[in-house]
């Protein structure tokens, strides 16, 4: 990849190639380099989090305790969530933002290149701190990623490491978000008005605001946990006049916007890809922008739907139920817009399009189970069962993760100048789609039948569906090795991609060469 | 500063604003703590009860027409080793009239321990009308090794307690303070 970039810019005296050697990656301030670092980092973490998931599914293959002891099982569920959310999915989206936002809005780089370098290089240290808790006294955090007190306060030596890792990850994403907002507000090419920005840029713009507004709240909450444990404060200790339920309020005030942080950029990606392969303009561009903003606003007033069973008064249960159901309206606008974009389009089904269509269908399944969970009376039954697990994995795996894969297939030829193997890509899509449904669909059934989540053992009547689910998990996990193989193969030996890559693609990034020069848009393009 | 160009200056002011947002939101996280307490006090959510002076309680007009059943329950938090129970588990009261009852506690450990009891009243709508003049929960209670003690609580149910409330439960959880 870097050889390509150097070769390309050799003929142009105004451009400088990257520095030589490994120090290039440590000191780089180039948005393309940093984007690539984020993406590779996230791919590695995706596999680490995936191995943890497979430990969970292997244990749950049969009822009874076979492979790991319950304490370690709890560490796996907690770490799987933390790794996948904070180390795999969020960095993947930030990596895509780094690569794509400047070349989509005609900017030469991110607004704050040095801070960009910092945002990334905090991540490996935070992740080492978090992952090394697996080897400390008392093991890794095991109280769930939500870190509810008083349970989380029983964590051993891992506790302060968990808190400081969360702090560092928060600082990283806040710096990344400020950079993204500053880039979008100040560095758009002439003529690139807000309502002409590609939707990926729009969704990230809104996501970045969600991040700077909510990550500090999480940082505050975990700091309170830290002082409760070591400095005798009583924020969440009832004996000292505090209240553990208050942690849940503060946590979910962050936590609910966080789930939109994990899905809004996915909406943006899919809104870029579907018009390309349907060869039509995106249906309802401005309604997409307003729907995204509405979802972001609503995300701040629905947090207590995670807490229907803590003993809220009826009026609060009703308010949070209706506010939550209201989110289905802007989300529905988006789904109908994607479908309308495809309607009567000249569609072709290359791998990115397959992943995007898969996203629309399977994300919607997750959306529907979300609507069921929004209903307070039925949530009393579904709360903390596998139905919830099935719900959020449908929106996050064939939802958010599929969108990242769609993005990787869609833009990889632009990034590297090499096409991936289309046959293998399609094979990867079908394997992933079949196995992800075998993995998560049966979890709806065991959840409705009452199987609790975060439990290493279960009643025998759940055995068959759990065995099916575990088979799906291993199939899905193995399919992702194929993804890594396809990506590496494309980077190393894929056939040459054209500058346009996809014949229906529109936008500034496609006016650049494939791969783009190390420094692109040093002269601002004019957008008409 | 004067040698800065216009775009540089606008970038600087944008960044100042952007960095202020996370700093303010970090503060907001902490602000949620007192807000939560105020919210619970005002609404009576969380079973928070009020304290009232004896002089004020004696001015209340007793409503002998109404009878309300008060249930007392006790819980022990995980740490320490205790016996903890109400002296009587049910009491019938008139709104506006003060009553006193006791809770019995015994430290089963052969060492001195400090306890703190936390009250909670259900239903929520009664909590705001349930006031205590005197309570062992107002302060920490120190117990010598193997000491046992009856601990008093004096309370009054306000006359404005909603019509539909006929039973109020007062629950205490006893925590061991380190």
Range of the domain at B39: 6-43
Nearest residue to A275 via CA among A506, A510, A499, A509 = A506
Is B162 exposed, middle or buried, given 0-12, 13-18 or 19+ CB atoms closer than 10 A? exposed
Check whether residue B69 and residue B104 sit in a common domain: yes
Nearest residue to B163 via CA among B52, B71, B76, B68 = B68
A331 is a catalytic site residue:
yes
CATH code of residue B169? 2.60.370.10
Residues 6+ apart with CB under 8 A from A135: none
Q: Exactly one of A31, A57, A80, A393 is catalytic; name it.
A: A80
b/e A299-336 (16+ beta carbons within 10 angstroms → b): beebbbbbbbeeebeeebbebbbebbebbeebbebbbe
CA distance A347 to A318: 43
Q: Residues A483-493: pLDDT tens digits?
A: 999 999 999 99
CB B29 to CB A313 under 8 A?
Answer: no
Check whether residue B38 and residue B57 sit in a common domain: no
Check whether residue B149 and residue B77 sit in a common domain: yes
Q: Confirm whether B134 is domain-assigned.
A: yes
CB A217 to CB B25 under 8 A?
Answer: yes
pLDDT reading at A2 higher than 60 = no
Task: At B134, list the tokens.
Answer: 């005197």
Question: Which pLDDT band holds residue A522 (cuts at 50, 70, 90)?
Answer: confident
For chain B, the helix, strand and coil percentages under 3-state DSSP, each to the nearest 5 = 30, 40, 35
What percent of chain B stands above pLDDT 70? Answer: 91
Q: Exactly one of A99, A145, A303, A394 is catalytic; name it.
A: A145
Please compute the mean of the pLDDT values over residues A262-267 and round it to a whole number: 97
* Residue pointed to by tokens 């180390």: A87
Check whether residue B66 and residue B113 sit in a common domain: yes
Altogether, the residues listed in chain A come to a count of 528
Check whether residue B86 and residue B137 sit in a common domain: yes
Question: How close does chain B come to A463, measured CA to CA in Å?
Answer: 34
pLDDT reading at B141 higher than 70 = yes
Q: What is the DSSP letter of A310?
A: G
- Sign (positive or negative) of CA dihedral A97, A100, A104, A109: positive
A42 is a catalytic site residue:
no
Q: Confirm whether B150 is domain-assigned.
A: yes
pLDDT at A240: 81
Check whether residue B27 and residue B92 sit in a common domain: no
Q: Per the structure, how many domains does chain B have?
A: 2
CB A217 to CB B124 under 8 A?
Answer: no
What percent of chain A stands above pLDDT 90? Answer: 91
pLDDT at A433: 97
Residues of A in contact with B118 (CB under 8 A): 238-239, 241
Check whether residue B33 and residue B93 sit in a common domain: no
Interface test with A, best of B31, B33, B121 (most A CBs within 10 A): B33
- Sign (positive or negative) of CA dihedral A513, A490, A117, A89: positive
CA distance A95 to A91: 6
Q: Confirm whether B146 is domain-assigned.
A: yes
Q: Residues B25-46: pLDDT tens digits?
A: 999 999 999 998 888 777 767 6
Interface test with B, best of A151, A205, A212 (most B CBs within 10 A): A212
Q: Which domains does chain A have, with CATH numbers?
A: 2-75+91-230+250-511 (1.20.210.10)
Please compute the mean of the pLDDT values over residues A317-329 and round it to a whole number: 96
Q: Confirm whether B1 is domain-assigned.
A: no
Mean predicted lDDT score pLDDT of chain A:
94
| Complex ipTM | 0.85
Check whether residue B96 and residue B121 sit in a common domain: yes
Start-to-end CA distance of chain B, whole Å, equals 56
CA distance B130 to B140: 21
Q: Residues B52-86: pLDDT tens digits?
A: 777 777 778 888 888 999 999 998 887 668 999 99
Asked if A185 reaches chain B (Cβ–Cβ under 8 Å), the answer is yes
Question: Which pLDDT band holds residue A9 (cuts at 50, 70, 90)?
Answer: very low
Please compute the mean of the pLDDT values over residues A189-214 and round it to a whole number: 96
Check whether residue B73 and residue B28 sit in a common domain: no
**SS3 string of A72-138?**
HHHHHHHHHHHHHHHHHHHHHHHHHHHHHHHHHHCCCCCCCHHHHHHHHHHHHHHHHHHHHHHHCCC
Check whether residue B64 and residue B20 sit in a common domain: no
Question: Which pLDDT band holds residue A239 (cuts at 50, 70, 90)?
Answer: confident
CB B32 to CB A246 under 8 A?
Answer: yes
Residues of B in contact with A115 (CB under 8 A): none
Altogether, the residues listed in chain B come to a count of 178
Check whether residue B39 and residue B52 sit in a common domain: no
Question: How close does chain B come to A17, measured CA to CA in Å?
Answer: 26
Which member of A182, A215, A245 has the closest CB to residue B14?
A: A182
Q: Residues B75-121: pLDDT tens digits?
A: 888 766 899 999 999 999 999 888 999 999 999 888 888 888 888 88
State the CB neighbour count (10 A cutoff) for residue B41.
Answer: 15
CB A182 to CB B11 under 8 A?
Answer: yes
Interface test with B, best of A110, A167, A175, A217 (most B CBs within 10 A): A217
Check whether residue B56 and residue B72 sit in a common domain: yes
Which member of B10, B21, B43 has the closest CB to residue A212?
A: B21
């Amino acid at each position: 990849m870097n050889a390509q970039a150097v070769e390309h810019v050799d003929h142009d005296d105004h451009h400088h190639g990257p520095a030589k050697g490994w120090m290039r990656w440590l000191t780089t301030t180039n948005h393309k380099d940093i984007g690539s670092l984020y993406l590779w980092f996230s791919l590695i973490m995706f596999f680490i989090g995936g191995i943890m998931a497979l430990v969970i599914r292997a244990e749950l293959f049969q009822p009874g305790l076979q492979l790991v002891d319950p304490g370690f099982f709890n560490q796996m569920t907690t770490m799987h969530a933390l790794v996948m959310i904070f180390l795999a999915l969020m960095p993947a989206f930030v990596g895509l933002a780094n690569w794509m936002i400047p070349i989509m809005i005609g900017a030469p780089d991110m607004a704050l290149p040095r801070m960009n370098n910092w945002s990334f290089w905090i991540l490996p240290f935070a992740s080492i701190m978090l992952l090394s808790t697996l080897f400390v006294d008392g093991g890794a955090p095991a109280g769930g990623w939500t870190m509810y007190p008083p349970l989380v306060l029983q964590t051993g030596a891992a506790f302060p490491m968990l808190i400081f890792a969360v702090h560092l990850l928060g600082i990283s994403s806040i710096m990344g978000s400020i950079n993204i907002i500053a880039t979008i507000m100040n560095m758009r090419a002439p003529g690139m008005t807000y309502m002409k920005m590609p939707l990926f840029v729009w969704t990230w713009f809104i996501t970045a605001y969600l991040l700077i507004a909510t990550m500090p709240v999480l940082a505050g909450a975990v700091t309170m946990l830290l002082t409760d444990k070591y400095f005798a404060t009583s924020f969440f200790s009832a004996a000292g006049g505090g209240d553990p339920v208050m942690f849940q309020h503060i946590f979910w005030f962050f936590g609910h916007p966080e789930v939109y942080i994990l899905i809004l950029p996915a909406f943006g990606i899919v809104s870029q890809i579907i018009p390309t392969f349907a060869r039509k303009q995106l249906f309802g561009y401005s309604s997409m922008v307003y729907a995204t903003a509405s979802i972001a606003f609503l995300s701040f007033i629905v947090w207590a739907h995670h807490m229907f069973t803590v003993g809220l008064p009826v009026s609060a249960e009703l308010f949070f139920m209706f506010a939550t159901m209201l989110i289905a309206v802007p989300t529905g606008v988006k789904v109908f817009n994607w479908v309308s974009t495809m309607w009567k389009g000249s569609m072709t089904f290359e791998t990115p399009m397959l992943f995007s269509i898969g996203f629309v269908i399977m994300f919607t399944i997750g959306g529907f189970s979300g609507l069921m969970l929004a209903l307070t009376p039925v949530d009393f039954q579904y709360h903390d069962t596998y139905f919830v697990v099935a719900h959020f994995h449908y929106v996050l795996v064939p939802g958010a993760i599929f969108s990242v894969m769609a993005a990787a297939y869609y833009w990889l030829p632009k990034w590297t100048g090499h096409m991936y193997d289309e046959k293998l890509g399609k094979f990867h899509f079908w394997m992933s789609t079949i196995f992800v449904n075998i993995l998560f669909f049966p979890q709806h059934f065991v959840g409705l039948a009452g199987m609790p989540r975060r439990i290493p053992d279960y009643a025998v009547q759940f055995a068959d569906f759990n065995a099916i689910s575990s088979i799906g998990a291993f199939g899905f996990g193995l399919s992702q090795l194929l993804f890594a193989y396809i990506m590496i193969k494309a980077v190393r030996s894929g056939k040459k991609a054209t500058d346009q890559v996809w014949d229906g693609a529109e936008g500034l990034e496609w006016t650049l060469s494939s791969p783009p020069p190390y420094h692109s848009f040093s002269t601002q393009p004019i957008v008409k | 500063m004067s040698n800065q160009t216009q775009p540089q200056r606008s970038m600087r002011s944008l960044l100042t604003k952007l960095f202020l947002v996370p700093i303010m939101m970090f503060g907001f996280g902490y602000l949620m703590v007192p807000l939560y307490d105020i919210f619970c006090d005002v609404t009576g959510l969380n079973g928070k009860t009020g304290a009232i002076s004896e002089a004020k309680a004696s001015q209340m007009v007793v409503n002998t027409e109404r009878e309300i059943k008060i249930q007392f329950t006790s819980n022990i938090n995980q740490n320490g080793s205790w016996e903890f129970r109400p002296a009587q588990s049910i009491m019938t009261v008139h709104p506006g009239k003060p009553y006193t009852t006791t809770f019995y506690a015994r430290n089963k450990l052969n060492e001195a321990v400090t306890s703190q009891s936390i009250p909670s009243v259900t239903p929520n709508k009664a909590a705001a009308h349930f006031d205590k003049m005197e309570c062992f929960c107002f302060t920490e209670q120190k117990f010598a090794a193997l000491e046992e003690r009856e601990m008093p609580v004096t309370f009054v149910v306000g006359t404005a307690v909603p019509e539909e409330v006929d039973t109020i439960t007062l629950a205490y959880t006893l925590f061991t303070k380190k």
